Amino acid sequence: MNVLVYLLPIALGLGFLGLVGFLWALKSGQYDDLDGAAARILDDDDIRKPGL
Amino acid sequence: MSPAIDYSALVETRPDGSRRLELAVEGITCAACIGDIERGLATVPGLDRARLNYTNRRLAADWTAPQFDPGAIVARLAELGYKAHPFEASREEARDEAEMRFLLRCLAVSGFAAMNIMLFSVSVWSGNVSDITPETRDLFHWISALIALPAAAYAGQPFFRNALRALRNRSMTMDVPISLGVCLALGMSLYETIHSAEHAYFDSAVMLLFFLLLGRVLDQVMRRKTRAVAGNLLALRGETAVVLGEDGQARETPVKGVRPGDRVLVRPGDRVAVDGEVISGASEVDASLVTGETAREPVGPGSLVYAGTVNVSGALTVRVTAAAEGTLLQEVNRLVETAAGARSRYLRLADRAARIYSPVVHVTALATAIGWLAAGAGLHAAIITAIAVLIITCPCALALAVPATQVVASGGLFRAGVLLQSGEAIERLAACDTVVFDKTGTLTTPDPRIVNRAELDPGLLALAARLALSSRHPLASALAAEARGQRPFEGATETPGQGVSAVVEGEPARLGSAAFCGAEAQAQTVLGASPDATVICFAHGARRAVILMRQVLRPDAVAVVAELKRAGYELAILSGDREEPVARVAAQLGVENWRAGLKPAEKIAALDEFAARGRRVLMVGDGLNDAPALAAAHASISPVTAAHLAQASADALFLGDRLAPVVDAARLSRRAVAIMRQNLWIAVIYNVVAVPLAIAGFVTPLIAAGAMSGSSIIVTLNALRARLGSRPTPSPETAPSAALPPHRPATLAP
C-alpha cells in the first residue's frame, strides 16, 4: 500500500489543477460571452493572405 | 446635421486610467457581425480596443487619449450599418454579475471536492466488501474530511447566509433544512471518522451542495438573462433630447442627463423624449403610443406633451417637468405601483413546494430519531438514522426541477422571438385562459403603412421611397423601408415640418405635406374617403402621388386570433382609441368582446371584471395607457416598440412585426409548466421510495449517493424536453436578436 503515498497527492493535485484552471478562466472572463466564443473560433482573420 | 451628443456622463474611468464606454448595439443578426464591427472600429483613430459581447449584444470600447470623442464610435457604427446606444449597467445588473461569479466559484469548489471525495468513497465502498484495512479506511476518511470541511465551509455560504437570515426573520425557507442537513451530515461523519467507523457521509454532503448550487446557478443564469434583456432595451430606446442651454446653444444629451426645468427643442418628426409643457411653437402630436388614440392632437404653448408621443408638424420648445400632480403620467404611475404591489403576492411554484417541504422533512427526521429510541435502539444509531433521513430528503431534484426547466424554456421562447423579463413569468403565462389585446400598436403595426398601394404608380412610389431615405420624419421612415438597398439621392435637402426635395432625373422632386408638393386638391379627395388616415405627397415634375398611410393590422393578426380561439382562449379588445376604428378592427378579427375609449383606470376595472369571473388574463399592450393594465393582469406581453413604462410593466416582450410570438409564449409556457410539475412529482416519488428506506435504517452512503445523483439527472433530462416543440422562427427577417429588429418593408394590406 506504499504506492498510496505518491498516488494520493498526484490524484488530488490533478483535481486541484483543474479547479485552479476553472477559477482562472472564470476570473479572466472566459465565460462572459459563450455564444461569441463559439462564433469567433470560425473567424480566420488572423491568417493573413500573402502580400497583405 | 444634428449637434454632437454629449456622452461624458456615461464614460467610465477605469483604475488604469483608461476610459471605457459600453454600448448596446442594435442590428446584430449573425456571428459575422462580430468581425465586421471589431474590424470596422479598428480604423477609428484614438480607440485602443473594441470588443463585442455576442451573447448580450454589447460592445466595450476602451481608449486612453483624453481628447477622444466617443461619438466617433457611434458614428463609425452607423456607417457600418449598426445603431448603437451608450449604456450604463444598472446597479442590479452589476450585483447579479458578482453573485453569478460567486455562485460559479462555489460550484467549482464543491464540484472539485465532490469528485475527489468520491474517489476515496468508491475505494472505501469497494474495500468494505473486500479487503481494505481499517487503517487505510481511516486514512481515506480523514483525507475526505480534510477536503470536505473547508470546501463545504466555502461552497455552502450561499445557503448558510440565507438560512441565518431566514431564522433571524423567524421564517422558513428551503435553505434551513439544506444547511441543517449538510452541517449534521458533516458533523456526524467527522464523529464517525474519529471513532474509526465503517461509514462516513462526506461525499453525500458535498455532492448535495454541488447539485443544489447547480440549481442556484441556473436560477441566476435566468435572472441575468432577463435583466440583460431589460437593460439592453432601455439603452436601445435610450433617446437623446436636444437641450437648449442658457446661451441658446442646442446640445444633444442622453435623456438621463435632462433635468426638470431644462428647455428641450423637439424638431418635427422627433419622438418627444421627455414629459413637459410646451413654451413656444405650434404643432400636432401623434399620441398613439401614449393613449392609443390614432387621431392627431394639436398642441401649442401651455399644452402638456408626454414622452413617447411623436411631434408631427412644427418645432416645439418644451420645458421639462417632473410627473406633475394630476397629469396622465402621474395617474399611470400611481396605478402601476398599486397593481405591481398586488402581483408581488404571487407565490412561485418552487416556493409553494418549499413551503410544504421544510416542515415535512424536519418532522420526519425527528420522528425517525424518536421512533428508533422508542424501539430500543441506542442514541448513536437513532441519530445516525435521523441524519440519513435528512441527507436522503435533501432537495437536490427539487432544487433543479424549476430552474432547469426555466432556463431551457426561456431559450425556446427566445428563439420564438419572446424575451422574458422575469423567470416566474413562465408560470403566470401558463396559467392564463383569457387574452386581452390593446388595439393601437399591438393588434396594429406601431407605425403607419401604405394602404392605397394599388392606386399608386409603382415607378413613382419607388422614387418617393428613395427620396424618403433623406427624411427623418416618422411617416417617411415607413415609406423609406420600401427602398430596400438603395442609396439616398445626392443633394436632397429637408425643410423641417414640410418635406424633402431633390433634383431627380433633371426634374425637381418633392416629398412631404400636400402644400409642399402642391397637391392639396388630390390630397383632399383621398383624405375625404378615409379621414383617420394621413397622407404624404410626392411630386416629380408635373406628376403627383398621394400616398395614404394608416396603422394597419399586423400581418398575422387574423391567424393568431383564430389560433387562440381554437386553443380555447377567451378574447377581448380594450382600447383607448375612439369607437369607430376599434369596432372595425374587432370585426376584422372576429372578436365580439371589445370596448373603446377606455382610460387606464377603466382598463384595470375591465380586467377586474374578468378576474371576478375567475378568468386569468394575459394582457397584450404597448401604450403608456396600457402600463397599469399590464402590471395588473395575471401576465402580460408587450411588443418591443412599446412605451417605456409599458415595457417595464410587462412580463415579456416580443420582437418583430408578427403577433405569433404571443401564441408561442402561451403554448411554450404551458408546456414548460407541465414539465416543472412533472419534475416536482419525480422529486416526490423519489422521496416516497427513498425515505422509508432511510427511516428503516437501510441507507448507506452508497445508496444515498446513487439516489441523489440519479434523481437530479432524471429531473435535468426531463427539463431538456422543454426545448422540444418550440417552433423555429420562420424567416431571418423575424429572427430574434437582443436588439430591435431592423425596419422591414410593409407588404401587407389591412
Overall number of domains in chain B: 4
Contact B517, B544 (CB under 8 A): yes
Q: Which of B484, B519, B550 is the last residue of a domain?
A: B550
| More confident of the two residues B74 and B675 | B675
Q: Which of B650, B670, B690 is the last residue of a domain?
A: B670
Q: Looking at CA atoms only, how far is residue B54 from chain A in angstroms?
A: 5
Which residues have C-beta within 8 Å of that of residue B400, sequence separation ≥ 6? B211, B214, B215, B218, B679, B712, B715, B716, B719
Asked whether residue B523 is assigned to any structural domain, the reply reads yes
Same domain, B569 and B518: no
Scan for cell 422571438, then name that residue: B417
Range from B143-152, B355-364, B567-576, B603-612 carrying the lowest mean pLDDT = B355-364
Q: Indicate yes or no: CB of A35 within 8 angstroms of CB of B105.
A: no
Asked whether residue B740 is assigned to any structural domain, the reply reads no
C-alpha B15/C-alpha B308 separation (Å) is 38
Q: Indicate yes or no: CB of A36 within 8 angstroms of CB of B34.
A: yes
Same domain, B566 and B654: yes
- DSSP letters spanning B428-497: HHHH--EEEE-IIIIIB-SS-EES-GGGS-HHHHHHHHHHHTT---HHHHHHHTTSTTPPPPTT-EEETT
DSSP state of B171: -
Q: Which helix (H) or strand (E) holds B75?
A: helix B71-80
Share of chain A above pLDDT 70, in %: 81
Range from B408-422, B451-465, B473-487 carrying the lowest mean pLDDT = B473-487
Same domain, B419 and B393: no
Which listed residue (B175, B203, B219, B438) is catalytic? Answer: B438
Contact B701, B390 (CB under 8 A): no
At residue B520, does pLDDT exceed 50? Answer: yes
Q: pLDDT-based confidence at B239, cuts 50/70/90?
A: low
Residue B286, CB-side half-sphere exposure with 13 Å CA sphere: 24
Q: Looking at CA atoms only, how far is residue A5 from chain B in angstroms?
A: 11
Same domain, B435 and B563: yes
Catalytic annotation present for B457: no
Asked whether residue B6 is assigned to any structural domain, the reply reads yes
Same domain, B558 and B433: yes
State whether residue A11 sits within 8 Å of chain B by CB. Answer: yes
- Give B-chain residues touching A46 at CB under 8 angstroms: none
pLDDT, position B581: 83
C-alpha B331/C-alpha B324 separation (Å) is 10
Q: Which of B550, B565, B581 is the last residue of a domain?
A: B550
Asked whether residue B248 is assigned to any structural domain, the reply reads no
Instruction: State the best of B104, B116, B119, B737 to mutate against chain A, taking most chain A CBs within 10 Å.
Output: B116
User: What's B663's domain CATH number?
Assistant: 3.40.50.1000
C-alpha B421/C-alpha B437 separation (Å) is 19
Same domain, B70 and B136: no
Asked whether residue B355 is assigned to any structural domain, the reply reads yes
Per-residue pLDDT of B280-335, as tens digits, reads 888 888 877 777 777 778 888 888 888 778 887 778 888 887 655 556 667 777 77
Alpha helices in B490-613 (DSSP H): 514-517, 520-529, 557-566, 579-589, 600-612
Q: What are φ and ψ of residue B295, in 5° steps?
A: -80, 150
State the residue range of the domain holding B526. 449-550
Q: Looking at CA atoms only, how far is residue A27 from chain B in angstroms?
A: 8
Q: Indicate yes or no: CB of A36 within 8 angstroms of CB of B115.
A: no
Same domain, B485 and B610: no
| More confident of the two residues B323 and B680 | B680
Per-residue pLDDT of B12-40, as tens digits, reads 788 888 888 888 887 777 777 888 888 88
Strand partners, B559: none
Q: pLDDT-based confidence at B243, cuts 50/70/90?
A: confident
Asked whether residue B361 is assigned to any structural domain, the reply reads yes
Asked whether residue B81 is assigned to any structural domain, the reply reads yes
User: What's B50's domain CATH number?
Assistant: 3.30.70.100
Asked whether residue B465 is assigned to any structural domain, the reply reads yes
Same domain, B82 and B117: no
Same domain, B220 and B351: yes
Cell numbers found for residue B739? 436588439
| More confident of the two residues B313 and B580 | B580
Q: Indicate yes or no: CB of B108 within 8 angstroms of CB of A23.
A: yes
Q: Indicate yes or no: CB of B55 within 8 angstroms of CB of A4.
A: no
- Give B-chain residues touching A40 at CB under 8 angstroms: 31, 34
Same domain, B433 and B558: yes
State whether residue B136 sits within 8 Å of chain A by CB. Answer: yes
Same domain, B642 and B561: yes
State ipTM: 0.84
DSSP state of B24: E
Interval B470-494 mean pLDDT: 74
Q: pLDDT-based confidence at A51, cuts 50/70/90?
A: very low
Per-residue pLDDT of B104-153, as tens digits, reads 999 999 999 999 999 899 999 999 888 888 988 999 999 999 999 999 99
C-alpha distances out from residue B451 to B35, B458, B743, Å: 40, 14, 18
State whether residue A47 sits within 8 Å of chain B by CB. Answer: no
Q: Indicate yes or no: CB of B112 within 8 angstroms of CB of A8.
A: no
Same domain, B691 and B664: no
pLDDT, position B237: 59
